Every structure is written in C-alpha cells, then in structure tokens.
Structure 1
C-alpha cells in the first residue's frame, strides 16, 4: 500500500472516531437537556426514539446519495426539490392517475434517475461546476413539482378511495417501534457501503475525488463516474420522496426545503471531506443520527426553527474545521 493510501485510511479512521465520539456526546447532552414528563426524560421515551429514527430516515437516505457525490468532489443542491417532486408525482399518480404501487414506484424512481442523469450530463459535457448546475436544478425540480401537483399538496389517504394499502407499508412500522423507513435507510447504507468499498466503481469514486486530473490520465472514466454518482444521488432523493409521501399521506411541492443542508451536514459531520476523496457511508449514518438527535432535542425545548438553521450552519463549519485540524 502506498504512503498516500495509508494516510487516507488514517484520516478516515480518525474522522470516524470523531463522529462516533460526537454521537456519544450529543446523546449525553440530549439526556441532560431533555424536558421531563412524569419524572421521566421525554428524550428517552421509546416513542420519541422511534420518532427520531423515522424522521432521520428520509434525510439519511438523501445523505447516502450525497456521500457519493461529495466523495467524487461534487455537490448536489437539488436533492430537496427532487424529494418534493417525487412525493408530488407519487401522490398524483396514485390519486389522479389511478396507478398501483409498483407502477408508481418504478415511474418515480425512473424520474429521479433521469434528473440525476441530466445533472451529470450538463456538468460533464458543459464543464460547469456541480454547484451551479444543481442550484439550477433545485429551481427546475421545484417547478416540476408544482406543475404536476397543480401548485398545492395532494392528499392520498388509505382505504376506500385512497392510495393502495401496499403503499402505506413504506411509511409504516414493523411491530410497535421499528419504522420501515429506518429499515430502508439501513439497507441503503449497507448497499452503499458495498458499492463504495468492494467494487471498482467505488474505488474510482474515491480516486476522482482525490485527484480528478490524475484519475483521467490513468484511464479512469471520470465523466462516467460523475454520471454514476449524480444519478445515484437523485435516485435516492426520489426514494426519500416516495417514503415522504407514504409517511405524511400527501405530496406537497413545498416540502423538502433545506433538506440539502441537512444531508450535507450529515455527510460532513460523519467525516467526509468536502474537497472529496475521503469519507465513509458509515460516517454518514452516524452524522445523520447526530443531526436527528440535535433536531429532536431542540424541538422538545421549543427552540425557534430559524435558530435551528443557524446552529446547523455553525455545526457544518465546526465539522470542517475539525477535519482540517485532523
């Protein structure tokens, strides 16, 4: 193994350790600052912990896709809008189109994949920075969401006159405390881990993020790698949109705002470098849990939503500074 490779592995291990320690610290602080009800900490209530798992699942799935993009040296700001579009399209197909669950899933996932492919095509062929392209797609996908939904939320409901009961499974629970979205999130993490660590594509993703020019000169299909990571990112954002629709029983074109911030925060807090090349999807899982716990405890203490956004920005900057010191 080369010295450069050993250093990269060392940085990954250090960043993962920092992320795990951060999770422990945040969990302890959440217990300390948790409101009390009938002598018990609300934060540790099984129902509240279940809600955290349910709430982080959508953003976590998006963060997994964002990990691919950031590892390859890019950024995707369109994921929140893609979620809104996917949720709106799901609701419209189920309620106005009369389509079943399988057809809806296939169509919405294909639409998400297409959006990612368009992002990648413009980035690679137009030689435009991913920040600019996905910023434009953020607006475009939001516009598509409003077009398909007519500009307002589309309720689905279940049972007579509603969406098929099979669709509700995606937002339901196994037993009393295990949210299906959380299981889908964990499965996504597992598949992504295999893809990034056990396949040639995964090695190429790290290589492109570490040094795009050197990768191109060594024969790596850089444009195809970018095509792959942006397609995966939008595909997972669409999957999150489907789950979002199933959980809230509606598709709303105004949903998903600031989701890209949460996804980027989870990836960076998990130890992935914003400059690309270094990071793991396991770290993203930990980062997602940290963000979820912070959001939950702030909500339990009725902290203003604008203050929450400010804190997230501070956390991202702090995580980047910590990476540079490491």
Structure 2
C-alpha cells in the first residue's frame, strides 16, 4: 500500500510540478552594448599603434602633430554626426547633410568674397540657412508623414543644386586682405591653432558642440522627448510630447550643424566648393552606428557617436600612413559599418 501511495504521489507531483525551463540562449550583457564604441575605439587605437610605420624609431601614429591632425580632420564629420545622432534617435535619417555642408561652404565664400560681407553676418546667415533647410525637411516629414529617407534624399539633390547655382558650378577661392574682392582676416582663424599653436580651432569647436549636445541629450526635457519619440512615437504623442515640434527641431539642429561644418571646411581649405561634402552623410551615419545608436531609434548617446567619429578618423589616418589604396579604405570602412550594424541587430534580438 505504501508503494501504491508513493507511485500515486510521484504521478501527482509530475503532473503539478512546473515545467523544466528551456535552456536560455547566450545573451551578451547590456553593459557591453553601452560600451561597444569605446571598446572598438580602444582596439582600433591599439591596432593603429601596432601597424603604424616607424621613422627614426618613432611611431608615426603617436606623433603629437599626427594625433592633432586626426582630431582636426575628424571635426567636420564629428559635428555632422552629432546632428545625425539626434535625427536617428527619433527613428529618422538625414541624407542631405553632406550637400548642406557644400551649400554652406559655397554660401559663406560667396558672401565674404562677392558680397563683401563681414564674418559674423556671413556666418549667422549661413547657419540660419542650414537650420531653415533642415527645419523644412523636418516639417515635411512630420506634417505629411513622408519618410525621412525620401524627404532628405530629395533635400540632398536640392541643396547640391542650390550650391552649384549660387557659385555658377565653380569653387569660390577665399583670399584675405583689406581691399575689394578679399575676405576679412578674422575668417582665417578657422585654419589656425591656439594654445601656443598646438590645438586646431576646428577641434575646439567640435569639443564645444559635443559638450553642449551631451548636456542637451542627458539633462533637458527636449532630450527626453527625443528618446521618447524614438522609443515609441505613438506612446510619446499620447503622453503629451509635442512630436511634430521636436521632429522639426531635430532636423533643424542637423541642418545647423551641417552648415557649421561647411563654414569650418571653407575656412580650412580657403575656398567654398559646391562639390564639398560628397558622401559625408555616409561617414556621419557610420559614426553614429559605430557609436552604438540604434537605427530603430530611442537608443544611443552623443558620446558614443564622438567615439565612433574618432574611430573612423583614426582608421583613415593609419591606412593613409601605410599608403593603403583609398578604395581599400572604403572597403574596410564598409566592413566595420556592417559589423556595427550586426551588433545592433543582435542587441535588438537578445
């Protein structure tokens, strides 16, 4: 009888016991994804040291002049990428930023050289044009529900066309002096250095923009609204977030920063070219993706984007130091973008 009871108890226990949980898939801690851009930047930095050519026993990559040149060269893409980060955080995309850079570079050169305008007035006008162009794209996207990809693809063509019309299809050289047909000497500061001739001015502008953007994203209501829209636009709207207004503002910021990058490029190259900024939007998107911002929106940081921009700058620099063909550089950069996008996909699934 005891045996029967035991058997019945065993059967009952087997019936009522919780099912054995399935074996869980391997999951990478979320902390890894938060730090992925910094880890990748460190790995690329170390690889750059290892593969850097030597001259007189010195590692060329670690030369202070070379490192400062990396930051200077990265400043334009970095500034554009910061604006792109806000756009992607709301689940959008902006393909026009490279063309807006070209429009801004052409415009500021024309205002200085042809219209003989002062530096402050010319810079403010170009920044306003960039912001207005971006805001118009944001308004079309938000008001009519047209995908940002389509709107900004059209904007890419429009901005490039405006730049070529403005300059007659030719670059506008910038010469400095006091006479007619010259620009004020103060604009040449964009091609100079400070702190005893060590730190490039564009690098300081990049740093200032980065600090402001990080503070806005982390500590303001606007920043919280950006993340909310990217996370769930419908829920954000129902929660009282002014979705349309935030979208317009985000695209305006992207246009403003693209125009700022165009002004910087014109100052560094001493000319404004309507062909400037071609494919810059791809580098900016790459920096954002490598920096850990999800293309689906709602996840990412400005600091990660900065790390991504520096990673691309370091990679291009060390490849150039080793005289790697520019086409191979494109292949390597494309491969890194694919890997970064793959990591984001794995993050979403896990």
TM range (shorter): over 0.9
Taking the aligned partners of 1:305 and 1:148, their CA distance within structure 2 comes to: 31
Partner of 1:43, secondary structure, is helix
Hey, what does 2:156 align to over in structure 1? 138
CA distance in 1 between counterparts of 2:233 and 2:328 reads 38
Q: Which residue of 2 aligns with 1:4?
A: none
1:282 equivalenced with 2:334 (yes/no)? no
Q: Are 2:236 and 1:215 aligned? A: yes
Shift of 1:117: 1.2
Superimposed CA distance per residue, residues 18-57 of structure 1 (whole angstroms, 9 cap, x where no aligned partner): 1111111101111111122222121111211111011000
Query: Is residue 85 of structure 2 the alignment partner of residue 64 of structure 1?
Result: no
How many residue pairs align between the two structures? 317
CA deviation after TM superposition for structure 1 residue 265, in Å: 0.8
Of residues 310-319 and 52-61 in structure 1, the stretch that sits farther from structure 2 once superposed is 310-319
Instruction: Find the aligned partners of 2:335 and 2:266 in 1 and give their Cα distance.
Output: 30
Q: Determine the structure 1 residue equivalent to 2:190.
A: 170
8 Å contact from structure 1 (residues 11, 278) kept in 2: no
Picking from 268, 283, 305, the partner of 1:247 is 268
Residues 171 and 247, structure 1, Cα contact 8 Å, conserved in 2: yes
Deviation above 6 Å: which 4+ runs of structure 1? none
- Counterpart for residue 8 of structure 2: none
Tell me whether 1:92 sits opposite 2:113 in the alignment. no
User: In the alignment, does 2:179 pair up with 1:158?
Assistant: no
Q: Work out whether residues 206 and 278 of structure 1, in 8 Å CA contact, stay in contact via their aligned partners in 2.
A: yes
Rounded to whole Å, the distance in 2 between the matches of 1:66 and 1:121 is 17
| Structure 2: segments with no counterpart, 5+ residues | 1-27
**Deviation of the 1:160 alpha carbon:** 4.6
Residue in 2 that maps onto 1:38: 56
- What is aligned with 1:116? 134
d(CA) in 1 for partners of 2:72 and 2:79?
11
Is it true that 1:193 corresponds to 2:211 in the alignment? Answer: no
Aligned to 1:269: 290
Q: Give 1:20's aligned residue.
A: 38
Alpha-carbon distance in 2 for matches of 1:114, 1:130: 16
In structure 2, how many angstroms separate the alpha carbons of the residues matched to 1:110 and 1:279? Answer: 27
* TM-score for the superposition, normalised by structure 1: 0.94
C-alpha distance in 1, partners of 2:31/2:234?
A: 26
> Does residue 310 of structure 1 match 2:321?
no
Distance 1:177 1:303 in 2: 28
Secondary structure at the aligned position of 1:169 is classed as helix
Deviations 1:47-69 (A, max 9, x none): 11111011000110000000100
Aligned-residue CA RMSD (Å): 1.5
Distance 1:88 1:46, change over 3 A: same
* Distance across 2 between alignment mates of 1:173 and 1:15: 36
Q: Any stretches of 5+ residues in structure 1 without a counterpart? A: 1-9
Provide the rounded CA distance (Å) in 2 between the counterparts of 1:171 and 1:270: 28
